[in-house]
Structure 1
Amino acid sequence: MVQVQSLMVTAIEGRRNFSYGQELREVWYRREDGIEGSLHYSGDFGVRAGNKLALIYSPTINSHWLGIVNFSTELYINFVPNWVSRKTYPFPDLIWPLNKAFPDLQESAFGKQSPALHQAVEQTIQKLIDQRSRCTA
Structure 2
Amino acid sequence: MKTYKFLAILVLLLISLILTVGCQKSSSADEEDQTTQVMQQKILGRWNLVEFIEETRVGDQPPVIINNDPQNVYFEFYANGKGKTNAEGEEEFSYEVKANNILILWENEQKIIELTDHKLTFKNTATEGNTTYTQTYFLTR
Same fold (TM over 0.5): no
> Whose radius of gyration is greater, 1 or 2?
2
TM-score by length of 2: 0.28
Task: Tell me the TM-score normalised to structure 1 length.
Answer: 0.28
Indicate the structure with greater helix content.
1
